[in-house]
Amino acid sequence: MSGGLSGRIALITGGGRGIGREIALRLARDGADVAVNYRRDAEAAGEVVREIQGLGRKAKAYAASVDRFEDCQMLVDAVLAGFPGVDILVNNAGIASRGQSVADTDPGEFERVMRTHCFAPHYMSKLVLPSMRQRAKENGRGDIIMISSVATLYHAPNGAPYSMGKAAAEALALVLSKEERPNNIRTNIVAPGLTVTDMGERLAKATRGVADIHDLAAGSPFGRVSTPADVAAAVAYFVSADGEYVNGQKINLHGGG
């Protein structure tokens, strides 16, 4: 553990599995205490908490569906009852769209994906900011990280809800980077390509027509697909002392191509 985040508290949405899990563990290894949000898989979230506690850090899991404002309010209230505040918010929770054309996309599907990728980061940022502003006054900084996607670079066919939701999250990040800079809060974006997670597998099947995401390795930069650890490393940089002067920036985490 580097200890560089000692004394800081991170809240990770969708932190029980995949990318969120790795971010939670990485920030804990770097010294942060971590609130782990999950939607359904209590067992997986509990395992993350136990691993973090094994590192000597404080951690607790919180169930909430962040696409609903009421759930976000309950989540933030519960976190603030269990921790002194929030210094780092990672808006990571995400779902895949079904890989259909705009003409064939069901309105319910569109709304479901947009609420998760567009509405949820707005809700969570709004609710966490009062605590984060106060903590930044006391401790010198706050950080909001949006986990986006390289989908916003390509806007490929048959993925409009996902591309739109992630583009909206990036717009929110850029607005926040200006609004909250006077409060010593930095907002940045990490945008991975296809990553080796359960959701990555579903996206690979929907958009690339492959059953195993590793089948894409040969055609990927450096001969491999992105991993959750790659994403966590980028997040760790942004919230570290090395990222202190970085604000309103985006890392496209796709190996350069």
Sorted by sequence, the CB contacts under 8 Å of residue 217 that are 6+ apart come out as 223, 224, 225
**What does the block give as tokens for 246?**
């970085």
DSSP string covering 203-228: HHHHHH--S-GGGGGGGSGGGS-B-H
Catalytic residue among 123, 162, 237, 245: 162
Q: What is the side-by-side strand order in the sheet with 33-38?
A: 59-63, 33-38, 9-12, 88-91, 142-147, 185-192, 250-253
The dihedral formed by the CA atoms of 74, 75, 80 and 82, expressed in degrees to the nearest 10: 110
Answer yes or no: 162 catalytic. yes
C-alpha dist (Å) from residue 108 to 111, 153, 229: 5, 25, 33
Query: Which sequence positions are flagged as catalytic?
Result: 162
